[in-house]
Amino acid sequence: MQGTSAWPDDFLTVRDFSPAQIEDLLHLAVQIKANPAGYSSALQGKTLAMIFEKPSLRTRVTFDVGIHQLGGFSLYLSPAEINLGKRESVYDVAKNLERMVQGIMIRTFAHQIVQRMAQYASIPIINGLTDYSHPCQAMADYLTVLEIKGRVAGLKVAFIGDGNNVAHSLLFAGAQLGAHVWVATPPGYEPLKDALSWAQNRAAQTHGSCTLTTDPVRAVRDADVIYTDVWASMGQENEAEARRQHFLPYQVNGALFALAKPDAIFMHCLPAHRGDEVTDEVIDCPRSVVFQQAENRLHAQKAILLQLMKHSVAEAVVAEELVHV
């Protein structure tokens, strides 16, 4: 991974980019959304392999549609087909795919898997969700905030619930963009210390802030954005019942949402468990922007695909080998 001025070759976490690069990506997404036809052959003939080790609606559909809208192709690889690390090693999968496609999007469990894939493959790797982070989601989230509020810097963004992958990425991107991000979790469910401290350090440079609390009321009061996610993430299904008792005071319901600013918006990465982390009256209210947020996955990811895949290196691997024959 590179320094702050050169563009990273991969999109593994929002942390790997400079604040200016994150802003540039958001502005590219705004342009692509406004003029999709202008980008319809930007990645002509390029193929994106999509490796899924967990289920998906939004990530699968928006990457699939997004690469096609840019003139390219997609290839869906299900958990059963690849069986990453069991049927075949991460190294061997990377070394095969780099000769066949020009980019890989991967949704998996351990974050180290996407890091290793990026280390081994000469083509761009995009993190489509790991247990640690969900960077494409955060780009769509802040694109949505930008569209609705006209800015991100200086806004109070309150994440209520589990200090999970989505919370981490919301912290990272919020810190990059100068937001005041609050995270309210039950004791024992905080974001990882390294994630919070990175975000706090970066926020200190962007005039933002990152604050952790166990009090949802403190987090929500006068907030511009209220955000929640499921209490048990994919892979934690067997903890769902035990978690419900800890998380009930953190439900985003009408009473909690009323403590935010009168024009506050409600956000959720989806899928939602209605009646758990959010009630129908909040997720279905006019200030809920969850479907605009979901649509913005498409536009934000087209910007990421374009930035990473416009200079394909797959041809370079083959050309280098021909020279050595």
Local structure of residue 107 (DSSP, 8 states): E
Q: Quick check: 260 and 223 in contact, CB under 8 A? A: yes
The answer to whether residue 68 is catalytic is no
Helix (H, G, I), strand (E, B) or coil at 293: helix
289 binds, among ligand NVA, ligand CP, none (CB under 5 to 8 A by kind): none
Report what 154 binds from ligand CP, ligand NVA, none; CB cut-off 5-8 Å by kind: none
| Residue 294 CB, nearest approach to ligand CP (Å) | 7
Separation CA 263–CA 284 (nearest Å): 15
CB of 81 to ligand NVA, least distance (A): 21
Of 102, 229, 243, 268, the catalytic one is 229
Min dist CB 101 to ligand NVA, Å, is 24
Q: Where does this chain bind ligand CP (CB under 6 A)? A: 56-59, 129, 137, 269-271
In angstroms, give the least distance from the CB of 295 to ligand NVA: 15
Catalytic: 287? no
Instruction: Give catalytic status of residue 269 as yes or no.
Output: yes
Q: Binding partner of residue 57 among ligand NVA, ligand CP, none, CB under 5 to 8 Å per kind? A: ligand CP
Q: Which of 137, 251, 293, 301 is catalytic?
A: 137
> Helix crossing, 111-120 with 90-97: angle to 10°?
50
Which letter does DSSP use for residue 8 in this model?
P
Q: Is residue 134 flagged as an active site residue?
A: yes
The pair of three-digit structure tokens given for residue 290, joined into one six-digit string: 């969850």
Which tokens sit at 224?
Answer: 């511009």
Q: Is position 233 an interface residue for ligand NVA (rule: CB under 6 A)?
A: yes
Torsion of CA 209, 188, 269, 226, to 10 degrees: -50
Q: In angstroms, what is the C-alpha Rg of the chain? A: 20
Nearer to ligand NVA, 47 or 293 (CB): 293
Closer CB to ligand CP, 160 or 212, in the complex: 160
- Identify the residue among 47, 164, 228, 293 touching ligand NVA (CB under 6 A): 164
Alpha-carbon distance of 41 to 215, in angstroms, equals 49
Contacts of ligand NVA in 165-184 (CB under 6 A): 165-166
164 binds, among ligand CP, ligand NVA, none (CB under 5 to 8 A by kind): ligand NVA
107 is an active site residue: yes
CA distance 152 to 142: 7
Per-residue contact string for residues 112-131; x = within reach of ligand NVA by CB under 6 A? -----------------x--
C-alpha closest to that of 33 among 214, 275, 302: 302
Pairing of strands 156-160, 125-127: unpaired
Collect all residues with Cβ–Cβ distance below 8 Å to 286 and sequence separation of at least 6: none
Tokens of 80: 């059963």
C-beta closer to ligand NVA: residue 48 or 129 = 129
73 membership: H or E segment, kind and range: strand 73-77
**Interface ranges with ligand NVA (CB under 6 A):** 129, 164-166, 229-230, 233-234, 269
- Residues designated as active site: 107, 134, 137, 229, 269, 297
